[in-house]
Amino acid sequence: MPLTFAAFQALIRDRYHATDSARGTPGTFMWLIEEIGELATALQDNASGRAPTPEQRANLAEEFADVIAWLTTLANVNGVDLEVALRKYTDPQRVRGVKD
Protein backbone atom coordinates (compact mmCIF):
# COMPACT_ATOMS: atom_id res chain seq x y z
CA MET A 1 0.00 0.00 0.00
CA PRO A 2 1.50 3.37 -1.00
CA LEU A 3 2.49 5.82 1.71
CA THR A 4 1.15 9.32 1.12
CA PHE A 5 2.75 12.45 2.50
CA ALA A 6 -0.36 12.99 4.62
CA ALA A 7 -0.12 9.49 6.13
CA PHE A 8 3.61 9.85 6.76
CA GLN A 9 3.17 13.26 8.37
CA ALA A 10 0.41 11.87 10.59
CA LEU A 11 2.62 8.91 11.58
CA ILE A 12 5.48 11.24 12.54
CA ARG A 13 3.05 13.53 14.42
CA ASP A 14 1.43 10.63 16.30
CA ARG A 15 4.75 9.10 17.36
CA TYR A 16 6.86 12.15 18.12
CA HIS A 17 4.84 15.37 18.42
CA ALA A 18 5.06 15.73 22.19
CA THR A 19 8.86 15.50 22.14
CA ASP A 20 9.20 17.50 18.93
CA SER A 21 7.02 20.38 20.06
CA ALA A 22 8.88 20.55 23.39
CA ARG A 23 12.18 20.76 21.47
CA GLY A 24 10.77 23.51 19.27
CA THR A 25 11.80 24.87 15.92
CA PRO A 26 15.46 25.75 16.65
CA GLY A 27 16.34 22.34 18.09
CA THR A 28 14.42 20.48 15.43
CA PHE A 29 16.08 22.51 12.69
CA MET A 30 19.50 21.58 14.11
CA TRP A 31 18.57 17.87 13.94
CA LEU A 32 17.51 18.37 10.31
CA ILE A 33 20.84 20.03 9.49
CA GLU A 34 22.73 17.17 11.15
CA GLU A 35 20.84 14.68 9.00
CA ILE A 36 21.53 16.76 5.87
CA GLY A 37 25.23 16.55 6.76
CA GLU A 38 24.97 12.77 7.06
CA LEU A 39 23.20 12.67 3.69
CA ALA A 40 25.98 14.79 2.17
CA THR A 41 28.57 12.32 3.48
CA ALA A 42 26.61 9.35 2.09
CA LEU A 43 26.29 11.07 -1.29
CA GLN A 44 30.02 11.74 -1.34
CA ASP A 45 30.73 8.11 -0.45
CA ASN A 46 28.55 7.02 -3.39
CA ALA A 47 30.21 9.47 -5.82
CA SER A 48 33.66 7.92 -5.72
CA GLY A 49 33.46 6.72 -9.33
CA ARG A 50 33.21 3.09 -8.20
CA ALA A 51 29.98 1.17 -7.91
CA PRO A 52 28.66 1.67 -4.37
CA THR A 53 28.55 -1.35 -2.11
CA PRO A 54 25.17 -2.66 -0.99
CA GLU A 55 25.93 -1.20 2.45
CA GLN A 56 26.64 2.23 0.96
CA ARG A 57 23.39 2.12 -1.05
CA ALA A 58 21.44 1.09 2.07
CA ASN A 59 23.04 3.91 4.07
CA LEU A 60 22.21 6.43 1.33
CA ALA A 61 18.55 5.35 1.34
CA GLU A 62 18.47 5.58 5.14
CA GLU A 63 19.91 9.10 5.12
CA PHE A 64 17.34 10.27 2.55
CA ALA A 65 14.59 8.84 4.77
CA ASP A 66 16.05 10.55 7.85
CA VAL A 67 16.12 13.94 6.10
CA ILE A 68 12.49 13.55 5.02
CA ALA A 69 11.49 12.48 8.53
CA TRP A 70 13.18 15.48 10.18
CA LEU A 71 11.80 17.88 7.56
CA THR A 72 8.35 16.43 8.28
CA THR A 73 8.94 16.89 11.99
CA LEU A 74 9.88 20.53 11.39
CA ALA A 75 6.70 20.99 9.34
CA ASN A 76 4.63 19.48 12.16
CA VAL A 77 6.21 21.72 14.79
CA ASN A 78 5.35 24.72 12.60
CA GLY A 79 1.83 23.63 11.61
CA VAL A 80 2.58 23.09 7.92
CA ASP A 81 0.57 20.46 6.04
CA LEU A 82 3.13 19.10 3.60
CA GLU A 83 0.60 17.44 1.32
CA VAL A 84 -1.15 20.79 0.83
CA ALA A 85 2.18 22.62 0.45
CA LEU A 86 3.38 20.15 -2.19
CA ARG A 87 0.34 20.78 -4.36
CA LYS A 88 2.14 23.80 -5.77
CA TYR A 89 4.06 21.34 -7.93
CA THR A 90 0.85 20.10 -9.54
CA ASP A 91 -0.16 23.57 -10.74
CA PRO A 92 1.45 24.21 -14.15
CA GLN A 93 0.72 27.94 -13.84
CA ARG A 94 2.66 28.19 -10.58
CA VAL A 95 5.76 26.11 -11.18
CA ARG A 96 7.47 26.56 -14.53
CA GLY A 97 10.86 25.72 -15.91
CA VAL A 98 13.97 24.58 -14.14
CA LYS A 99 16.17 26.54 -11.78
CA ASP A 100 19.77 26.86 -12.90
CATH assignment of the domain containing 38: 1.10.287.1080
Digit-coded pLDDT (tens) for 45-62: 888 778 889 999 999 999
Q: Which domain holds residue 42?
A: 23-83
Tell whether 38 is covered by a domain: yes
The answer to whether the pTM exceeds 0.85 is: yes
Digit-coded pLDDT (tens) for 73-93: 999 999 999 999 999 888 877
Instruction: Output the CA torsion sign for 18, 77, 42, 85.
Output: positive
Tell whether 45 is covered by a domain: yes
DSSP one-letter code for 1: -
pLDDT of residue 39: 97
Digit-coded pLDDT (tens) for 9-47: 999 999 999 999 999 999 999 999 999 999 999 999 888
Q: How many domains does the chain have?
A: 1
Tell whether 18 is covered by a domain: no
